[in-house]
C-alpha cells in the first residue's frame, strides 16, 4: 500500500501512542486509603477482575484502531503503486497544444489564444509531480511530437515557451494518433490535456478519430469547453488564382505587357456574417522594387453572405526580360486573425510562346481567305499583328522529331492525316513533358483512319467516328462551355455566349469520351465538338503532363463558319495559352501540405520575411516534407542550381473563427476514448480547472472514503464500549448501595 501523503500517514501512526499512554497513566498504582468497607470492595473487585481487564483491553484496541483509521484515511492510501500519480510507472500526461493559424486569433484583451494555451500548459507543468512522464505534441499540420515522454520537466517547459504559431490547420486526429505509451508502460494510466479553442477552424468532425484507449490501462481526455469562448469575426482570402500562370511580356518594348488577371475568393465567419460590411482588396506584384504595380478593389457584403468573389486586373509596363518566376500578393484589411489576410501566387513571365503548326502547305498571307486551309486560319489567328507574343513555326509532317518538338511550347496539328504513324509517340512524349497539342480534323478526308494512331499513342478513352456526319440543319454552339471549357476559356467567359451565337456547324465527326469531363464544347443539341484531356498525371519539377485538345469540326466552309466569326481568334489564343499555363506545375502550396515528387528533394531557402526556419534541407530518405509557415521560398536542386520559387499560403480552412457546437465536439472526441465522453471544462481559468480535474482523476482509486467510513463505525462502537466499561449506574455484585 502507498499513500498520497506519506508524511501525514507517519504522523497518524505515531498518534496511536496517545490512547496507549492514556491507558497506562490510568493504571498507575495509587496510595491505598483504608476504610471500614474496604474488605467488601476488594472481594467484589477480585471476583470481576478478569472481565474488567478484558473490557479495558477491548476499549484500548478500539481507540487505537480509531486513531489509525482516521490517520490512514486522511493520508490517502492506495492499493497499488501503479495508481500513484507522480510515479513514473503510474500516470502519463500528454499535453497537446494548438499552434495552428486559428490559435493566433486575438481576443478583446489583445492576447492571442495561443498565448493562453501556452500559459495553461506551463501552469499544468508547474503543478505536476516531478517524476510524472510528460509529452508535448503540437497540433498544426503535420502534427509532431515536440518532446517525447520524459521526466525532464525543464526540457518540456523550454519547448512550451518556444512554441511559435504556424500557418497550417490543426490536425487533432493526427495528433491523437501520436499519443503512445512508453514500451515498458503499456498498462499505465494516461491523461490527455487538449489545449485548443476547438473553433470550427481547428476541428474536422468529418475525420474519424481512431480509438486509442486500448493503449493504456485507463485514458482521460480533458479539454476546454467552447462555451467559454468570446465570439470573433474574421475574413479570409481563401483563393488567389491567376487566370494564366504564364504571362507574356512580348519582345517589343513599344508594346506594353498584357495585364495580369486575378480571381480572388473571400470567406467570412463569426458574428460579422450577420452584418453588412466592406472589404478592401489590394493586389500587387512583388518584384523587389520600391515601387511595384498595384491595384485596389472593394467587396461589399450583404447580411448572411459567407463567400464573395472579385476579379482584378494588374498591369506593370516594366515587366520584361528573360523568363522568370514572379510573385503576386493580395492583401485585405486587418482583423482579429492577421495570418490569413495575405495570400500569394507565383506566375511565370515569358517573352513569347512558340507554337509549331504542322502542315504540308506554306502560309501565304497575301492569298485570299477563300483559299485558306485550316492551318492558314490558325496562323492568321495566332499572329494577327507584328510583335505578337505568340510566334508560329511551320513544321512539315515528315519533320516531326524530338529536337524539333523540344524547341516549341505547343503543337497545333492542322493535318493529322499526314503525320507518320511513328511520329505520334514522339508527340505523346512531348505532351507528357508539359507540351500541349491541339489536333484539328482534316477537311479533305472521306474516311478518317488517322485518329487510330493518335488514340493509341495518347491512350485516349475516346470513341471517334471514321466518317463525318452531315447535319440536316445547321447546329449552333451551346451558349455555355462545359466545365473543362470554362477552365480553358475563363478569360473570355463573359463574352463567350455573344461570340458563340453566330457560329454554325454543318458537318462534324462524332466523338464521345468515356469521361464527360473531357468535353470542352458542345452543339446546342448536346453533341461534343471539342474534347480535351491530360493523358498522364506524371509531373516533373516544373511541369505536369500537358493537354491534348481535339476539334471534331474541320476549319473549312463546308463544315463550319467558325473561322470567319469573331469567336475564332480568341478561341485559338485561349486554347494555346490556357493549355500551356495548365501544363505549368502550380508553384503555390498550402502551409502544412506535404511536398511530393522532385519538389520534395529540393532545398528550400526563405525568400520573404516570415516566421519559421530560414532553410529546409531535403530529408535523407524519400520522405515527404511539409512547410508549416507561409512565405516565399527559393528552390535549389541537388547541384545548387536555382529552380525558381514556390509560395506557401495560410490554410484557408483554419480561418473559420465560428464557435463549434459542444455536442459535436464531445461526439467526435469520444471516438478516441472508446465512446467514453471527454471532460470539457467551462471555467474561466482552464489551467486551474485542468489541474483540479487531473488530481481527481489521479485519486480515483484511493481508499480514503472506505477508511473514513470504517472510522465512523468504529467511533460508534468505541462510545458503546466506553459506556459499558464505565459501569455507570450498574451495581457491583456483593456491594450494597
Is the Cα torsion angle 700, 706, 711, 712 positive or negative in sign?
positive
Half-sphere exposure at residue 480, Cβ-oriented, CA atoms within 13 angstroms: 2
Write down the pLDDT at residue 16: 80
Note whether residue 735 is domain-resident: no
Residue 615 and residue 499 share a domain: no
What's the DSSP call for residue 179? -
Bridge partners of 511, per DSSP, are 464
Note whether residue 116 is domain-resident: yes
Nearest to 555 by CA among 542, 574, 541, 568: 568
Domain boundary among 548, 564, 583: 583
Grade residue 539 by pLDDT with cuts at 50, 70 and 90. Answer: very low
Look-up: residue for cell 520524459?
Answer: 150
Residue-averaged pLDDT of the chain: 83
Is residue 528 within 8 A of residue 465, CB to CB? The reply is: no
Residue 361 and residue 455 share a domain: yes
253 C-beta neighbours (distance < 10 Å), count: 10
Helix (H, G, I), strand (E, B) or coil at 416: helix
Number of domains comprising the chain? 5
Q: Which residue has the higher pLDDT, 165 or 373?
A: 165
Write down the pLDDT at residue 651: 95
Helix (H, G, I), strand (E, B) or coil at 606: strand
Contacts of 27 (CB under 8 A, 6+ apart): none
Residue 385 and residue 457 share a domain: yes
Residue 505 and residue 386 share a domain: yes
Look-up: residue for cell 472508446?
Answer: 674
Residue 407 and residue 532 share a domain: yes
Residue 682 and residue 707 share a domain: no
Note whether residue 237 is domain-resident: no
Residue 529's CATH number: 3.40.50.880
Contacts of 37 (CB under 8 A, 6+ apart): none
Whole-Å CA distances, 346 to 40, 217, 246, 303:
117, 52, 9, 34
Grade residue 541 by pLDDT with cuts at 50, 70 and 90. Answer: very low
Note whether residue 732 is domain-resident: no
User: Of the ranges 87-91, 188-192, 521-525, which one carries the lowest mean pLDDT score?
Assistant: 87-91
Q: Which residue has the higher pLDDT, 37 or 258?
A: 258
Write down the pLDDT at residue 594: 81
Alpha helix (H) ranges present in 76-145? 113-127
d(C-alpha 7, C-alpha 11), whole Å: 6
Nearest to 569 by CA among 359, 373, 385, 348: 385
pLDDT (tens digit per residue) in 150-188:
999 999 999 999 999 999 999 999 999 999 887 766 678
d(C-alpha 245, C-alpha 15), whole Å: 85
Asked if pLDDT for residue 43 goes beyond 50, the answer is yes
Q: CA-based angle 55:60:64, to the nearest 5?
A: 150
pLDDT (tens digit per residue) in 474-512:
999 999 999 888 989 988 988 999 999 999 999 999 999
Residue 569 and residue 423 share a domain: yes
pLDDT (tens digit per residue) in 383-433:
766 667 888 899 999 999 999 999 999 999 999 999 999 999 999 999 988
Is residue 121 within 8 A of residue 183, CB to CB? The reply is: no
Write down the pLDDT at residue 127: 81
Residue 343's CATH number: 2.60.40.2030
Buried b (16+ CB within 10 A) or exposed e, 657-692: bbbbeeeebeebbbbbbeeeebbbbeeeebbebbbe
Note whether residue 415 is domain-resident: yes
Residue 511 and residue 373 share a domain: yes
Domain boundary among 565, 583, 601: 583
Residue 525 and residue 416 share a domain: yes
Note whether residue 475 is domain-resident: yes
Whole-Å CA distances, 505 to 245, 518, 572:
33, 20, 17
Residue 365 and residue 315 share a domain: no
Is the Cα torsion angle 589, 591, 595, 599 positive or negative in sign?
positive
Q: Is it true that the peptide bond before 142 is cis, omega within 30 degrees of 0?
A: yes
Residue 217 and residue 87 share a domain: yes
Residue 222's CATH number: 3.40.50.410
Domain boundary among 583, 603, 625: 583
Quick one: CA torsion of 518, 521, 525, 529, rounded to 10 degrees? Answer: -80
Asked if pLDDT for residue 289 goes beyond 60, the answer is no
Whole-Å CA distances, 411 to 370, 389, 455, 511:
25, 16, 16, 21
* Residues spanned by the domain of 599: 588-652
Cell triple for residue 672? 478516441
Q: Which residue has the higher pLDDT, 84 or 320?
A: 320
Residue 390 and residue 450 share a domain: yes
Is residue 420 within 8 A of residue 397, CB to CB? The reply is: yes
Note whether residue 464 is domain-resident: yes
Grade residue 32 by pLDDT with cuts at 50, 70 and 90. Answer: low
Write down the pLDDT at residue 697: 54
d(C-alpha 592, C-alpha 695), whole Å: 36
Asked if pLDDT for residue 360 goes beyond 50, the answer is yes
Note whether residue 209 is domain-resident: yes
Amino acid at each position: 500500500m502507498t499513500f498520497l501523503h506519506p508524511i501525514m500517514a507517519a504522523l497518524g501512526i505515531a498518534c496511536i501512542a496517545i490512547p496507549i499512554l492514556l491507558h497506562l497513566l490510568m493504571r498507575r498504582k495509587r496510595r491505598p486509603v483504608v476504610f471500614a468497607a474496604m474488605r467488601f470492595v476488594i472481594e467484589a473487585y477480585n471476583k470481576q477482575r478478569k472481565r474488567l481487564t478484558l473490557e479495558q483491553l477491548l476499549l484500548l484496541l478500539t481507540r487505537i484502531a480509531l486513531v489509525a483509521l482516521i490517520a490512514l484515511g486522511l493520508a490517502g492510501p492506495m492499493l497499488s503503486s501503479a495508481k500513484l500519480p507522480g510515479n513514473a510507472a503510474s500516470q502519463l500526461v500528454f499535453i497537446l497544444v494548438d499552434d495552428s493559424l486559428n490559435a493566433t486569433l486575438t481576443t478583446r484583451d489583445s492576447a492571442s489564444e495561443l498565448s493562453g494555451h501556452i500559459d495553461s500548459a506551463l501552469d499544468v507543468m508547474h503543478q505536476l509531480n516531478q517524476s510524472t512522464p510528460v509529452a508535448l505534441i503540437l497540433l498544426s499540420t503535420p502534427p509532431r511530437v515536440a518532446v517525447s515522454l520524459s521526466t525532464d520537466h525543464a526540457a518540456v517547459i523550454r519547448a512550451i515557451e518556444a512554441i511559435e504559431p504556424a500557418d497550417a490547420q490543426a490536425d487533432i486526429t493526427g495528433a491523437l494518433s501520436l499519443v503512445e505509451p512508453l514500451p515498458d508502460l503499456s498498462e499505465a494510466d494516461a491523461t490527455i490535456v487538449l489545449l485548443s479553442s476547438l473553433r470550427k477552424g481547428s476541428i474536422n468532425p468529418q475525420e474519424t478519430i481512431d480509438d486509442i484507449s486500448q493503449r493504456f490501462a485507463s485514458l482521460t481526455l480533458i479539454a476546454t469547453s467552447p462555451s467559454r469562448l468570446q465570439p470573433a469575426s474574421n475574413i479570409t482570402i481563401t483563393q488567389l488564382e491567376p487566370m494564366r500562370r504564364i504571362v507574356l511580356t512580348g519582345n517589343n518594348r513599344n508594346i506594353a505587357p498584357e495585364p495580369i488577371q486575378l480571381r480572388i475568393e473571400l470567406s467570412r465567419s463569426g458574428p460579422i456574417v450577420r452584418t453588412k460590411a466592406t472589404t478592401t482588396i489590394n493586389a500587387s506584384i512583388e518584384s523587389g522594387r520600391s515601387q511595384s504595380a498595384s491595384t485596389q478593389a472593394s467587396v461589399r457584403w450583404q447580411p448572411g453572405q459567407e463567400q464573395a468573389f472579385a476579379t482584378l486586373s494588374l498591369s506593370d509596363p516594366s515587366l520584361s526580360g528573360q523568363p522568370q518566376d514572379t510573385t503576386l500578393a493580395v492583401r485585405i484589411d486587418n482583423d482579429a486573425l492577421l495570418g490569413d489576410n495575405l495570400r500569394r501566387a507565383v506566375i511565370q513571365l515569358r517573352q513569347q510562346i512558340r507554337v509549331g503548326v504542322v502542315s504540308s502547305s506554306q502560309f501565304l498571307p497575301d492569298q485570299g481567305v477563300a483559299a485558306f486551309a485550316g492551318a492558314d486560319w490558325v496562323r492568321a489567328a495566332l499572329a494577327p499583328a507584328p510583335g505578337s507574343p505568340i510566334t508560329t513555326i511551320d513544321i512539315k509532317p515528315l519533320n516531326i522529331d524530338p529536337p524539333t518538338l523540344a524547341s516549341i511550347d505547343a503543337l497545333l496539328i492542322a493535318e493529322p492525316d499526314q503525320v507518320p504513324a511513328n511520329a505520334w509517340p514522339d508527340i505523346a512524349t512531348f505532351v507528357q513533358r508539359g507540351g500541349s497539342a491541339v489536333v484539328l480534323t482534316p477537311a479533305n478526308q472521306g474516311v478518317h483512319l488517322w485518329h487510330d494512331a493518335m488514340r493509341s499513342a495518347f491512350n485516349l478513352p475516346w470513341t471517334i467516328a471514321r466518317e463525318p456526319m452531315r447535319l440536316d440543319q445547321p447546329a449552333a454552339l451551346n451558349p455555355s462551355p462545359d466545365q473543362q471549357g470554362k477552365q480553358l476559356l475563363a478569360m473570355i467567359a463573359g463574352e463567350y455566349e455573344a461570340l458563340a451565337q453566330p457560329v454554325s456547324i454543318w458537318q462534324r465527326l462524332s466523338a464521345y469520351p468515356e469521361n464527360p469531363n473531357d468535353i470542352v464544347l458542345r452543339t446546342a443539341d448536346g453533341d461534343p465538338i471539342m474534347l480535351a484531356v491530360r493523358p498522364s498525371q506524371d509531373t516533373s519539377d516544373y511541369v505536369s503532363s500537358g493537354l491534348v485538345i481535339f476539334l471534331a469540326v474541320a476549319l473549312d466552309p463546308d463544315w463550319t463558319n467558325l473561322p470567319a466569326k469573331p469567336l475564332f481568334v480568341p478561341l485559338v489564343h485561349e486554347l494555346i495559352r490556357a493549355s500551356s499555363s495548365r501544363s505549368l506545375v502550380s508553384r503555390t502550396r498550402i502551409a502544412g501540405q506535404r511536398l511530393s515528387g522532385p519538389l520534395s528533394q529540393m532545398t528550400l531557402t526563405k525568400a520573404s520575411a516570415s516566421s519559421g526556419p530560414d532553410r529546409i534541407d531535403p530529408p535523407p530518405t524519400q520522405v515527404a516534407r511539409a512547410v508549416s509557415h507561409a512565405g516565399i521560398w527559393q528552390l535549389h536542386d541537388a547541384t545548387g542550381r536555382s529552380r525558381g520559387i514556390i509560395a506557401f499560403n495560410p490554410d484557408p480552412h483554419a480561418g473559420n473563427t465560428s464557435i463549434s457546437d459542444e455536442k459535436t465536439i464531445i461526439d467526435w472526441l469520444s471516438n478516441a476514448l472508446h465512446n467514453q465522453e471527454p471532460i470539457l471544462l467551462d471555467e474561466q481559468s482552464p489551467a486551474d480547472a485542468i489541474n483540479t480535474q487531473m488530481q481527481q482523476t489521479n485519486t480515483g482509486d484511493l481508499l480514503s472514503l472506505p477508511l473514513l467510513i470504517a472510522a465512523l463505525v468504529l467511533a460508534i462502537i468505541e462510545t458503546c464500549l466506553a459506556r459499558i466499561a464505565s459501569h455507570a449506574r450498574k451495581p457491583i455484585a456483593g456491594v450494597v448501595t
